[in-house]
Amino acid sequence: MRDVGRRCRQIGRDMGQKRRLRRILLSKSQPGGRDLVALNQEHSFSFTEDRKINMAEPQYPNLSKAALRLGLFGFIFLMVVTLAGGCMTTSIGSGEGAVKYSIFGGTDLEKIYGEGLQIHPPWVDLIRYDVRVQEQLEDIDALSSNGLSIGMDASIRWRPEAGALAKLHVTYGGDYYRKLVQPELRSAVREIVGQFTPEELYSTRRTELQERIFAQVRDAVAGEDVTIDAILIRDISLPEQIRTAIENKLKEEQEAERYLFTIQKERLEAQRKEIEATGQAEYQRIITASLSSQFLRYKGIEATQMLANSPNSKTVIIGSGSDGLPIILGNQ
Give residue 191's pLDDT.
93
Domain annotation covers residue 81: no
- Domain of 268, in residue numbers: 252-290
Q: What integer is the mean pLDDT of 34-59? A: 47
Distance of CA 74 to the CA centre of its chain: 46
Residues 157 and 232 in one domain: yes
Residues 139 and 186 in one domain: yes
Residues 204 and 226 in one domain: yes
User: Could you tell me the pLDDT band of residue 10, with boundaries at 50, 70 and 90?
Assistant: low
| Interatomic CA distance for residues 325 and 300, integer angstroms | 7
Could you give the angle at which helices 182-193 and 206-220 cross, rounded to 10 degrees? Answer: 140
Residues 201 and 143 in one domain: yes
Give residue 55's pLDDT.
46
Domain annotation covers residue 104: yes
Residues 168 and 211 in one domain: yes
User: Residue 169 in contact with residue 129, Cβ under 8 Å?
Assistant: yes
Residue 40: pLDDT above 70? no
Here the CATH number for the domain that contains residue 201 is: 3.30.479.30
Q: Where are the alpha helices (DSSP H) in 57-158?
A: 61-86
Residues 126 and 154 in one domain: no
Measured in degrees and rounded to the nearest 5, phi and psi for residue 230 equal: -165, 155
Closest CA to 98 of 125, 133, 129: 129
Give residue 214's pLDDT.
95
User: Could you tell me the pLDDT band of residue 266, with boundaries at 50, 70 and 90?
Assistant: confident
Domain annotation covers residue 243: no
Q: What percent of the chain has pLDDT over 70?
A: 67
Domain annotation covers residue 80: no
Q: 331 or 159: whose pLDDT is higher?
A: 159
Residues 45 and 20 in one domain: yes
Alpha carbon distances (Å) from 233 to 152, 230, 237: 7, 10, 11
Residues 152 and 168 in one domain: yes
- Cα Rg of the chain, angstroms: 60
Give residue 31's pLDDT.
47
Q: What is the pLDDT of residues 53-109, one digit of tens each?
A: 444 444 545 667 777 778 888 788 777 666 555 557 888 999 999 999 998 889 999
Residue 46: pLDDT above 90? no
Give residue 221's pLDDT.
93
Q: Domain count of the chain?
A: 5
Q: 119 or 101: whose pLDDT is higher?
A: 101
Q: What percent of the chain has pLDDT over 90?
A: 28
Domain annotation covers residue 247: no
Residues 234 and 261 in one domain: no
Residues 284 and 214 in one domain: no
- Across 238-247, 307-316, 323-332, least confident range: 323-332
Residues 179 and 193 in one domain: yes
Domain annotation covers residue 215: yes
Give residue 203's pLDDT.
72
Domain annotation covers residue 75: no
Residues 171 and 217 in one domain: yes
Domain annotation covers residue 102: yes
Q: What is the pLDDT of residues 234-255, one digit of tens each?
A: 888 887 777 677 677 777 777 7
Give residue 136's pLDDT.
94
The percent of the chain in helix, strand and coil, each rounded to the nearest 5, is 60, 20, 20
* Average pLDDT of the chain to the nearest whole number: 77
- Across 36-40, 63-67, 258-262, 287-291, least confident range: 36-40
